[in-house]
Amino acid sequence: MLGEEVRKTVGKRVYSSPRDLVTSKRNVFPAPSSWYLPLLRILIKASFRHDSLLHLTTKMASKTGTADAPEELLVNFYDSRIRGKDPKGRRLDDILAYTDRLLETGHDYIQIIFPLPEGSPYNWAAPIVNAAVFNEFRSRPELRANLRKSFQKLLAFYGFNENIENGHAKIHRADNHSRQFKNWVVRTDHNHLRISRIIRCLRVLGLEEDAKAFHQAIIDVDRDFPNKIGPQSLMYWKRAAERPLYLPPNEDDDDAITGPAFLREFVRAEADRAAQKNVKKAESKDEAGLEVKSAGVRVKEESAALDVKPEL
C-alpha cells in the first residue's frame, strides 16, 4: 500500500493524515509542481482511506467474531434459525426492538437491515448484496419474510402500516401518522436517503410489490402535503422505484449500462421472459380467434343447409 510505504520511508515521525504527509517539511517527495501536488494528494488520501477501511473491518470482525463473507453475514443475519450478528454484534431482533429515538439517531444499522449492491460512504463495514445474497433472498421466502419485518418496523416509524391482503401488499397511514410524518415530511432530511435505500433494497431482494406500495404511499403524502418534500428527494424515490435494478438512484444517466453484472443479467432474463410470455399470449389470442371464426363458418354452413337464418 502507498500509505504503508510512505510511513516506512519517512522514518520515526508518524503522520496521522494525508494532509500531514503532503504538507510536512520532511516530506520524502521532491518539491511537487502545480500538477503533481493534487495528484499526490488524491493517491495518498485513497491509500489512507483504504487502509482505514481494512483496519475498521478487521477490527470489527475480530471484536464480534463476524468475519463472514457478505452472503454469510447477511443471510445468517436474516435466517431465523441461525440468528446471525452484524459487525457490531447485533441480531435482527435487537434492531427490531429499537425505539423511535434509536431509529432516528442511529446511522449504522440501516445499511445492515436494508443492504444494497452498492457500498455505503457512511458505513464502510456494511456488507453489500452480491450474486449469492441476491439468489438466496430470491429463492427463500423465509428470508424475505424477515426482511419484511424490518420494512414494517421502519414503516411504523414513518407513520404507515402494512397489511397483506389476498397475497398483496397494502400500505395505509397509521393512526399516529401526523406525529410520525414529522420524521420525514420536510424539505430534506437524512430519512429521505433511507427511503431511497429501502425502496431499492426491497426491489433487489424480491419484495417488489412492497416497494411499489411504499412508493405510492409516499407519493400520496406528497400530493396531500404539497411543497413539503423537496423535488430532488421525490426524483430519487422515483428512480429507486422504477429504474432497471442495475441502475442505482444516484446515477444521472438513465441510459447508462452500469451496476453489478448479476443484476444486468437478471434484468435481461426478465425482459426475455416477458417477451416470451407476450408472444404466447398473442398466439393464444390468434388461436382463439381462429376457433371462433371456424365455429361461425360451421354454423352458417349448417344453417344454409337447413335454410334457417343464422342467429350469431
pLDDT tens figures, 157-189 = 999 999 988 888 999 999 999 999 999 999 999
Task: For residue 173, give the C-alpha cell.
Answer: 397511514
Sign of CA dihedral 145, 150, 153, 155: negative
| Residue 276 confidence (pLDDT) | 85
Give the mean model confidence (pLDDT) for residues 82-103.
96
Structure-model confidence comparison of residues 206 and 72, the more confident one: 206
Return d(Cα 158, Cα 13) in angstroms, integer: 51
pLDDT tens per residue across span 182-199:
999 999 999 999 999 999
| Residue 246 confidence (pLDDT) | 94
pLDDT tens per residue across span 116-152:
999 887 777 788 999 999 999 999 999 999 999 999 9
Collect all residues with Cβ–Cβ distance below 8 Å to 195 and sequence separation of at least 6: 158, 184, 214, 218, 233, 237
Give the mean model confidence (pLDDT) for residues 209-218.
97
Contact at 8 Å (CB) between 66 and 124?
Answer: no
Decide: helix, strand or coil at residue 64.
Answer: helix
pLDDT tens per residue across span 257-269:
778 999 999 999 9
Task: Provide the residue type at 124 as one letter.
Answer: W
